[in-house]
Amino acid sequence: MPRAQIELANMSEWVKPAVLFSEAAIQERIREIGRQITADFDGREIAMVGILKGTVVFMADLIRAVELPLTCDFLKVETTKDQRIDISFSPETDFRGRDVLLLQDVVDTGVTMNFIAGHIQEDWKPRSLRIAALIDREEQRKVDCAVDYACFKVNQDGFVVGYGLDSEEKYRGVPYLGTLDKRKT
């Protein structure tokens, strides 16, 4: 049984997400973004840094779509109940003077991404810092936050899951991006 059927069969007690972007549409868009990143960095090595956990699937596919030398690292970012942002990272890579591509699953208000980008600029001192997002919810911005590479712009209501994105740790393995009506989950 294909992986998608297994995942969906195992969620009999879950609400099936409504398809927002199919697996094929996601793969095509990632290939397009990969070509754009390859052209923009023009032969330079990239330090690709994914924010856990939602970027894992996106990053795995994007790595294969970018035709440049690259390194991979991850950050773990948590926003506490008192709205404090904690970043966990023990870099084995020196990022000073490097081109850093920061990957996020969803950029919405921009608050967390701005904090992370500021932290990276100040502490890592990269040559350049660009941001790639699987989903850009630009209409929800509370602060300025430039997303350099957005696979999809989503401005409709609904909680997006699948393709690495979760709701209470469920749905990460769904091979497409779908929406949930949170009142039913």
Q: Exposed (0-12), middle (13-18) or buried (19+): which is 148, by Cβ within 10 Å?
A: middle
The DSSP-derived string for 91-122 is: -SS--TT-EEEEEEEEESSSHHHHHHHHHHHH
Question: Which one of the listed residues 82, 108, 136, 148 is annotated catalytic?
Answer: 108
Q: Which helix (H) or strand (E) holds 155?
A: none
Asked if 47 contacts 70 with a C-beta cutoff of 8 angstroms, the reply is yes
By CB atoms closer than 10 A (0-12, 13-18, 19+), residue 178 is buried
3-state secondary structure 11-57: CCCCCCCEEEECHHHHHHHHHHHHHHHHHHHCCCCEEEEEEECCCHH
108 is catalytic: yes
- Annotated catalytic residues are 108
